[in-house]
Amino acid sequence: MNKKERCLKIRETLERMYPNPPAPLDHRNAFELLVAVALSAQTTDKRVNLVTPALFARAPNARALAKLEVEEILTYIKTVGLAPTKAKNLKKMAEALVAHHGGEVPADMEALEQLAGVGHKTASVVVSQAFGQPAFPVDTHIHRLAKRWGLSDGSSVEQTERDLKRLFPQECWNTLHVQIILFGREHCPALRHVATQCPICSWAGSKRA
């Protein structure tokens, strides 16, 4: 099976398993998604989903969040990884949204990446899931699986993103990246993974992974 055929079969398998994949992070709008993704670094989505309801009840938009002191923001997110740094970044991010974007989340990668605590992956998730723009955010699951499936060499997250964008049609990026994340969590863990029992690795596994 060549790489093109492998990619097609991967897509078909994931479509059968996850025809309508839910967004991993709970949110009701672009602002909530931006905050949730910013909080998710080095923290599970499950943990983020536990802390955001109370935070959003207190600060439902950028203007409200910008008015909070860092210490108060920290009380809502103290159980997530790197909480003190994230609390500072959330306040700075909210202030920038108010000062430069009228309190709204910009639907622009470059503008998003200028915000405190927002890197390329976070910006990619926001434009993809909040605004429907084609993007292929690469998290640890996607990076790991792309190597296992022989779709990228695993040299860097940036290279994996380039390779996946080249291999898969643009119209499937937004759905496919969520499907791969869900598959990685449920069927393709980093440790104690039995490739022969995996619905995809059993036939698409790379000898290098």
User: Measured between alpha carbons, how far is 114 from 84 in angstroms, rounded to an integer?
Assistant: 20
Helix (H/G/I), strand (E/B), else coil: 172: helix
Residue in 86, 121, 147, 163 annotated catalytic:
121
Residue in 86, 139, 147, 163 annotated catalytic:
139
Q: Is 153 a catalytic residue?
A: no
Take residue 96 and report the two structure tokens written for it: 């920038």
User: Measured between alpha carbons, how far is 1 from 205 in angstroms, rounded to an integer?
Assistant: 12
Return the CA Rg of the chain: 18
Burial of 90: CB neighbours in 10 Å, binned 0-12, 13-18, 19+: buried
Q: Is 121 a catalytic residue?
A: yes
Taken in order 181, 187, 192, 197, the sign of the CA dihedral is negative
Q: Contact 195/202 with Cβ under 8 angstroms?
A: yes
Q: Which residues are catalytic?
A: 121, 139
